[in-house]
Amino acid sequence: MADLQSIKNRYGIIGNFPVLNRALEKAIQVAPTDISVLVIGESGVGKEFIPKIIHSESKRKHQPYIVVNCGAIPEGTIDSELFGHEKGAFTGATSTRKGYFEVADGGTIFLDEVGELPLQTQVRLLRVLESGEFMKVGSSQVQKTNVRIVAATNVNMMKAITDGRFREDLYYRLNTVQIDMPPLRERKGDIHLLFRKFAIDFAEKYRMPELKLTDDAVSYLENYSFPGNVRQLRNLVEQMTVVEQNREVNSVKLAEYIPMNANLPAVVQKSNGGNSGSDFGSEREIMYKILFDMRSDINDLKSLTSELIKNRGNSDLSSQEKNLINRIYTPEPQSANPASLLYFENNHQSEVHHPTIISENDEHHYNDVEDVEIEEAKPESLSLQNNEKDLIIKALEKHKGRRNKAADELGISQRTLYRKIKQYNLED
């Protein structure tokens, strides 16, 4: 059995972080067996190295090793890709085809992004894991295969099971041994080592001098979260190797490529498949929450203002306080175009309050609680037709039947106004 350092040298794996070392050690330990392995980790952490190590250190190393990206194969063809099909099984099946499980017999299949498998395919895969049997698409003949499966995913598997997107029995079949790959932000001590390795590789590839980091640049990188993990760091070094003229890179220059204010928190999947905490379903839900919180704050502010009026009375309020109250309670100015106002009122329903507005010259004093009331707006008709008819009548009355003036007031053409008058029987 190969030791840890020789494995790192063979596959170009850089780093000494304990969790990384433990992941590699587990891969070496389980390699001689035939048990299934599930690799868990965020995108870009290097999960693809684990199945390569397992295959190369196993008794299957001289047999086929096939990588299948489950998320890249269309749902309608993935069964055919994995298990093969018979001639005429579906439109376009002009000949019999072997699937990956038949081709890789005796070897290893790496199912990357296994959490993206369709449910129907999951049933077929479960049968292969339990009995080593499968059937081609369009065939009733059972075939046997001896394949070792290593799977990987960046999906929260327990949540996928709860949501009905992944079978629980398949999850436990795949997860005989779980190997966790740590994100780069947890391997701060390895970031500079990786940068130097990539800088040397790309300097040789592009025949350019090697990039060097200043001390402040090293600190900058170590405090960046790297949502794209090792893949993001590698792409960063390659880009800077080609673009930058100055081969010494400081934090100011790094900030041009990865600004710290764009360093948004990454969504971290729990390695044990557990709940990752508060999970907003979408950006829309976040916006709704913000809007509801704002509405609650405004209502609280109005309540406090009402209490202020009740407790102190209008005569005790300063000019600044009265202006503030007017700004809070005064309705927004209406649109000059009644047609656009009509559209807004019928498509945006909201609660409208009409409390007493305090003016500088108001002679009344509000010392009693009952003197200040916030009246709820009466329910208005939400019928677009009724409101449109009322607006047309009002415009015609305002301009004494002159249709050209009424049309201008409503913001519509005279032809449209004539058609609406006929539609609503307003000829008289």
- CATH of span 187-262: 1.10.8.60
Is 4-180 in CATH node 3.40.50.300?
yes
The answer to whether residue 10 scores a pLDDT higher than 90 is: yes
Question: Which residue ranges does the chain devote to CATH 3.40.50.300?
Answer: 4-180
What's residue 354's pLDDT? 43
What is the amino acid identity at position 80? S
Residues 282-311, mean pLDDT to the nearest whole number: 66
Residues 405-420, mean pLDDT to the nearest whole number: 83
State the pLDDT confidence band at 339, using cuts at 50, 70 and 90: very low
8 Å CB contact between 30 and 53: no
Q: Which residues contact 85 (CB under 8 A, 6 or more apart)?
A: 79, 93, 96, 97, 99, 136, 137, 138, 139
* Residue-averaged pLDDT of the chain: 81
State the pLDDT confidence band at 372, using cuts at 50, 70 and 90: very low
Partners of 66 in the β-ladder: 109
Share of the chain above pLDDT 90, in %: 57
- What the block records as the tokens of 79 is 């069964």
Over residues 249-272, the pLDDT tens digits come to 999 999 999 987 554 444 444 444
The residue count for the chain: 428
Q: What is the DSSP letter of 373?
A: -
283 or 84, which is more confident? 84
What's residue 3's pLDDT? 86
* Distance separating alpha carbons of residues 70 and 378, to the nearest angstrom: 57
What's residue 397's pLDDT? 86
Three-state secondary-structure class, residue 352: coil
What's residue 383's pLDDT? 62
Can you list the alpha helix ranges (DSSP code H) found in 137-282? 157-162, 168-174, 188-206, 215-222, 229-243, 251-257
- Which stretches of 58-145 are assigned E, i.e. beta strand? 65-69, 108-112, 133-135, 142-144
- What the block records as the tokens of 367 is 């010392």
The answer to whether residue 233 scores a pLDDT higher than 60 is: yes
* Distance separating alpha carbons of residues 148 and 154, to the nearest angstrom: 21
What's residue 356's pLDDT? 43
The answer to whether residue 364 scores a pLDDT higher than 70 is: no
Query: For residue 108, which phi and psi values (nearest 5 degrees)?
Result: -130, 140
State the pLDDT confidence band at 145, using cuts at 50, 70 and 90: very high
Q: Which of 9-13, 153-157, 354-358 has the lowest mean pLDDT?
A: 354-358
| The model's pTM | 0.61
Question: Which residue ranges does the chain devote to CATH 1.10.8.60?
Answer: 187-262
Q: Which residues contact 6 (CB under 8 A, 6 or more apart)?
A: none
Tell me how many degrees the CA angle 257-259-260 measures, rounded to the nearest 5. Answer: 145
Is 384-423 in CATH node 1.10.10?
yes
Residues 5-26, mean pLDDT to the nearest whole number: 93
Q: Which of 236-250, 333-347, 385-399 has the lowest mean pLDDT?
A: 333-347
What's residue 360's pLDDT? 44
What's residue 289's pLDDT? 63
Residues 90-102, mean pLDDT to the nearest whole number: 92
State the pLDDT confidence band at 333, using cuts at 50, 70 and 90: very low
Closest-CA residue to 83 (of 131, 124, 141, 132):
124
Question: Which residue ranges does the chain devote to CATH 1.10.10?
Answer: 384-423
* Distance separating alpha carbons of residues 306 and 298, to the nearest angstrom: 12
User: Within a 13 Å sphere around the CA of 57, how many CA atoms are in the beta-carbon half?
Assistant: 24
Residues 194-212, mean pLDDT to the nearest whole number: 95
Residues 38-55, mean pLDDT to the nearest whole number: 96
Residues 39-47, mean pLDDT to the nearest whole number: 95
* Distance separating alpha carbons of residues 149 and 162, to the nearest angstrom: 24
